[in-house]
Amino acid sequence: MNVIETHQLSRRFGRLEAVHGLDLVVPKGVVFALLGPNGAGKSTTIKMLMNLLPSTSGTAQVLGVDSRKLSPRELARIGYVAESMDLPEWMTVRQFLDYCRPFYPTWDTALEKKLLADFELPEPRKLKHLSRGMRMKTALIAALAYHPELLILDEPFSGLDPVVRDDFTRGLIEVSAQGEWTIFVSSHDIEDIERLADWIGVIENGRLRFAEELESLQRRFRRIEVTRASTTPAPQTRPATWLNYEESGLMARFIDSDYAVGDTEKRCADIFPGGTVTATPVPLREIYVTLAHASRGKAA
């Protein structure tokens, strides 16, 4: 079952097309990360999913319901934390949690206490006097304490210092390990996402470039280094799956986006007879950057 499904979801702001024909599927129980540079359309997508912003065209289904018709019943099953959230800052942490609690029949006070302790939040302090990270943590507690089926996080790491970011990510990993959560998180901080996500979607200029399981992505992307024999000339043509190709002396380097053990080596041997091939895994960040460069090159 898919927790989120969009079909040709689009949103215009005047002449600007923030999201264009987005077709996205988020299966149940995964941590789905929507990656993209600033202004790519991540937050707009999430706002449309939360019915905070009407779509210009297309549809989105969240928990099986049209996002434009999300009722309190569905909202009680969705946790939402966003960087731009307008929290009642005059409240203390305690008041805020006390305020949110009655809205959710499934509120888990024990979990609330545990998260409060884990995140080391000062309960009597007003939200407006908290650091950005602490505010996000407070919002996260308020979003987790009722065991939502779907947790939507919009740029949760933005502006957090590395330690807080690490805390936050660990907290999320813990939570995601606890049960049947589906987490939909948007970010441009790839390192944290890599630790967290099962699925990756990349959005750029309002268009979804791809969406794939992280494991499969990491399996098929490899950094390849080939040391040519001195007599072997540089290849004139290369497979399209070889991205970021560069040569330096006898050394050829590229990212293979379609790596398969044996096949890639065989293909390299065909192109670089007598060469030695080394394949190393590629971090998500490099995959993302490679794809971004590749798509820009294509666009150019």
> Residues interacting with other proteins, by CB under 8 A?
47, 50-53, 71-73, 75-76, 78, 80, 82, 84-88, 90-91, 95, 99-100, 102-104
Minimum CB distance to other proteins, residue 71 (Å): 7
Which C-beta is closer to other proteins: that of 103 or that of 210?
Answer: 103
Nearest approach, Cβ of residue 213 and other proteins (Å): 28
The CA distances from residue 55 to 14, 51, 154, in Å, are 13, 9, 18
CB nearer to other proteins: give 90 or 210: 90
Q: Which residue, 53 or 136, has its beta carbon nearer to other proteins?
A: 53
Contact yes or no for 169/260 (Cβ under 8 A): no
DSSP per-residue string spanning 98-136 = HHHGGG-TT--HHHHHHHHHHHT--TTSBGGGS-HHHHH
Give the C-alpha distances (Å, rounded to integers) separating 269 from 257, 261, 277, 279. Answer: 17, 13, 8, 13
* Nearer of residues 73 and 298 to other proteins, judged by Cβ: 73
User: Which residue number, 85 or 251, has a Cβ lying nearer to other proteins?
Assistant: 85
Separation in Å, CA 290 to CA 62, 245, 284, 297: 31, 10, 10, 10
Taking the complex as a whole, how short is the minimal distance between the CB of residue 50 and other proteins, in angstroms? 6
Q: How far is the CB of 73 from other proteins (least distance, A)?
A: 7
Does residue 143 contact residue 151 with C-beta atoms inside 8 Å? yes
d(CA 11, CA 17): 6
Residue-wise burial string across 170-187, b where 16 or more C-beta atoms lie within 10 A, e elsewhere: ebbeebbeeeebbbbbbb
- How would you write 141-190 as a 3-class SS string? HHHHCCCCCEEEEECCCCCCCHHHHHHHHHHHHHHHHHCCCEEEEEECCH
* CA max distance for the chain: 76
Kindly state the smallest distance separating residue 60's Cβ from other proteins, in Å.
16
Strand partners, 80: 152
Q: How far is the CB of 68 from other proteins (least distance, A)?
A: 12
- Shorter beta-carbon distance to other proteins: residue 143 or 211: 143
Kindly tell me which of 87 and 250 has the beta carbon lying closer to other proteins. Answer: 87
Pick the closer one to other proteins by CB: 49 or 226.
49
Min CB(212)–other proteins separation in Å: 29
How does DSSP classify residue 197? -
| Residues forming a β-bridge with 31 | 183
Q: Minimum distance from CB of 74 to other proteins (Å)?
A: 8
Taking residue 191's Cβ as centre, other Cβ atoms within 10 Å add up to 16
